[in-house]
Chain A
Amino acid sequence: MPDTDALGTIQPRAPIRQRVLWTVAGFGTLAAAAVLLAPLAGSTRIHLGTAFDRSIPYADNVDAQIFFVARLPRVLAAALVGSALALSGVVFQALLRNPLASPDTLGISAGASLGAMAAITFHIEFSMLGLSSVTIASFAGWLGALVIVSGLSMARRRGSSAVVLLLGGVTVHLLLSAVIAFVQYLADFTETFRNVRWLMGSLDVASYSPIVAALVPMAIAWAGFATLPRVLDLISVGSESAAARGVNVERTERIALVSASLATGAAVSLAGPVSFVGIVVPHMVRLLVGADHRLVVPASALFGAAYLIACDLIARTIIAPLELPVGIITAIIGGPVFLWLLFRRA
């Protein structure tokens, strides 16, 4: 496969260090542009001069509140969630050696949803550090799911294959989904309405505390991801051949699993389930930069961020003053683009 840069133009094969540099620069520019430009647009027109005017008291400055409370946290949340889901997708697909794997596959996001559903249905009412009980409970939910899934990965030590982890994880996902259905069944109608709304996902976080809370597990996840690119290439081919080349397979898989789970859980707690990004963005990126994880990992993180920011911008402006759930846009825009990328080469 010829190497391509972000724009899809064919490049002569350059040393990997240089290609990483160009990929990061290209996708980094895209992500930075998205972060800087997206807060400027919205359903209403605001004056940046007014928004940044310190002489107007903040309590009276509507433009400043729109910029700093309604838009900026939202764009930052989209960046974090988009990159976390795309990265988790890359890692799960390599780890499970399955192109259909996504952040939802192993039940982590179902755990996060279950926590939120339980908090809403059973009226677990408290707030801490500016976080709602729903957000805190969904944190607890995915941490619980992570414990179960980690337990499954222990079984790998006894020589079981990636398929076993995949099947086990899918089973955990289905099991938790059944518990979600049960909790929803117990809910009365106003609670059920709120449950349904939560499951549609929303990036409109309206403050910075949920973002800060999500940053803690995400930072740990990034540290884990940083160790992975080189070994993921070997792991994704097969654990035996990876081991033959001196990779500590068990340790690498543990790091990959925990990092991707932390990123997924944090993302779902922050925004609720957002479909498509975690499964298709990694494939889009592979079609653009090739399969080398040293390129795919940073490119997915940056492209996932830019992609979700752009989709959210469309979601909140296309039928202004109303808005669409962002998950609708991610799939409607991304689906055809991905199909085009896929069949362009065929």
Chain B
Amino acid sequence: MAALSTRVTLAILVVLGLGYGIPKTVRLKADTTDTSATPKAVRVKADATYASAAHGVAAQELPRRIVSLVPATTEMLFAMGAGPRIVGVSNYDRFPPEVARIAKVGGLLDPDVETLLSLKPDLVIVYDTQADLKRQLERAQVPIYHYLHRGLPDIMETMRALGARIGAKPAADAAATRIEQQLAAVGRRVAGRSRPSTLLVFGREQGTIRRVHASGGYGFLHDVLELAGGTDVLNDLHKQSVEMSTEMILTRKPEVILELHYGNSLKPAAMDAERLVWNGLPSLPAVKNKRVYLLAGDEFVVPGPRIVVAAERFARTLHPEAF
């Protein structure tokens, strides 16, 4: 069971866009309005793999039957107008609503390879860490596209590269540029304002302050927080997700606590109760100044085009006076 747990954890982190175990080579920051510039340090592998010469010929043509195993790339494909070419998505896909009509082929960790192959895809989009799946698809001579995300700029970079791969470059470039402009606009709104030290909580045990895990010094949500005018209180820790002890939370003294809830897991009444849980640590400036916020939404777990929505919600929460 331990091995299973490890694999499951890995898959979750991948889907969350957190990606433990990814080599720590570059650190991306998007803390100012300068997101329109193309980032230099991105690690995006845009090379589709072709298993054989015979299929290589077919792959020269534009993919028309795409399977996207990652919600983020599904949303990117829709944003560049390639939605109608998608024939399969993961079980975790919820957005846009059109995905409800598309065949589900399992999760990134446990894809239903049989169903996947029966869809006769001419391109399968997977996350780079899924080595087993990549090998399996290569053996089946299915062209794959794999990529890796570390920070906010990677989202736009992947969009552009994916667009080029599927022959939708102009639309993809336009969509990516639009996101960059929208992010820059959010950045401009909060520019020059004080940047509260913020604890960005990804999850904890409900009803208690146990098993708190929060954003560390890199990752796309960390980047979004910095863009939206906050300072990540765990900036010095080079991890995407940090498991925090009670002592550590007390010592860090965050001025704002932003707690993310995914899906519709929490009813409004429960949200209020959950906010009050933090009163157990009354010395926290965020608690004293009543700056504990719970935000619910899927856009926080999908590093795709809706990152703009996430950025704006962060900014409105941190700097309501700027809107």
- Interface residues of chain A, those whose CB is within 8 Å of chain B, are 42-44, 58-62, 65-66, 69-71, 74, 123, 125-127, 131-135, 177, 180-181, 184, 188-190, 192-194, 196-199, 202, 204-207, 210, 316, 321-323
Contacts and interface: CB of A to CB of B under 8 A. Distances in A.
Interface hub of A131, A194, A321 (most chain B Cβ within 10 A):
A321
A198 to B, nearest CB: 7
A65 B282 contact: yes
A323 B244 CA distance: 8
Interface in B227-242: 237, 239, 242
What are the 8 closest A-B residue pairs judged by CB atoms, nearest first?
A: A127-B207, A132-B207, A70-B247, A70-B246, A59-B282, A189-B12, A193-B12, A206-B246
Contacts of B263: 188, 190
11 contacts: A70-B245, A70-B247, A133-B206, A181-B4, A192-B11, A194-B205, A196-B8, A198-B205, A206-B208, A206-B209, A321-B237
Contacts of B203: 190, 193-194
Interface of B: 1, 4-5, 8-9, 11-13, 15-16, 92, 107, 203, 205-211, 213, 237, 239, 242-243, 245-248, 250-251, 253, 262-263, 265-267, 270, 273, 280-283, 288, 301
A43 B12 contact: no
A123 B205 CA distance: 11
A115 to B, nearest CB: 14
Given A132-B206, A322-B237, A197 B247 contact: no
Nearest to B203: A194
Nearest to A42: B247
A43 B242 CA distance: 15
Given A66-B251, A133-B207, A189-B12, 13 more contacts: A43-B245, A44-B251, A59-B282, A70-B247, A131-B207, A134-B207, A180-B1, A189-B16, A193-B12, A204-B245, A321-B237, A322-B237, A323-B243
B44 to A, nearest CB: 23
A210 B280 CA distance: 14
Contacts of B5: 196, 199
Contacts of A60: 283
B210 A204 contact: yes
A246 B164 CA distance: 85
B270 A125 contact: yes
Nearest to A69: B246
Nearest to B110: A185
B9 A207 contact: no
B247 A44 contact: yes
Contacts of B107: 189
Contact of B205 (A134, A181, A321): A134
Contact of B282 (A58, A180, A207, A316): A58
A190 B301 contact: yes
A206 to B, nearest CB: 5
Contacts of B11: 189, 192
B211 A202 contact: yes
A202 B210 contact: yes
B208 A207 contact: yes
Contacts of B283: 59-62, 65
B248 to A, nearest CB: 5
B211 A127 contact: no
A271 to B, nearest CB: 10
A123 B210 CA distance: 17
A210 B246 CA distance: 15
A79 B36 CA distance: 55
Contact of A43 (B207, B213, B251): B251
B278 to A, nearest CB: 11
Contacts of B288: 59
A192 B203 CA distance: 12
B15 A132 contact: no
A45 B119 CA distance: 60
Nearest to A320: B248
B280 A127 contact: no
Contacts of A66: 247, 250-251
Given A188-B263, A197-B243, A199-B5, A132 B250 contact: no
A322 B243 contact: yes
Contacts of B266: 125
A316 B245 contact: yes
Contacts of A135: 208
A135 B16 CA distance: 26
B211 to A, nearest CB: 5
B126 to A, nearest CB: 16
A198 B206 CA distance: 12
A127 B206 contact: yes
Nearest to B236: A321
A180 B1 CA distance: 10
Nearest to B277: A127
A206 B207 CA distance: 11
A196 B250 CA distance: 25
B253 A132 contact: no
B243 A123 contact: no
B208 A321 contact: no
Contact of A127 (B15, B246, B251, B273): B273
A196 B248 contact: no
A188 B245 CA distance: 25
Contact of B1 (A69, A74, A133, A177): A177
Interface hub of A59, A123, A190, A192 (most chain B Cβ within 10 A):
A190
B280 A206 contact: yes
B251 A197 contact: no
Nearest to B9: A196
A123 B265 contact: yes
Contacts of A177: 1
A321 B251 CA distance: 10
Contacts of A207: 208-209, 280
Contacts of A321: 237, 245, 248, 251
A205 B210 contact: yes
A189 B207 contact: no
Contacts of A131: 207
A205 B209 CA distance: 8
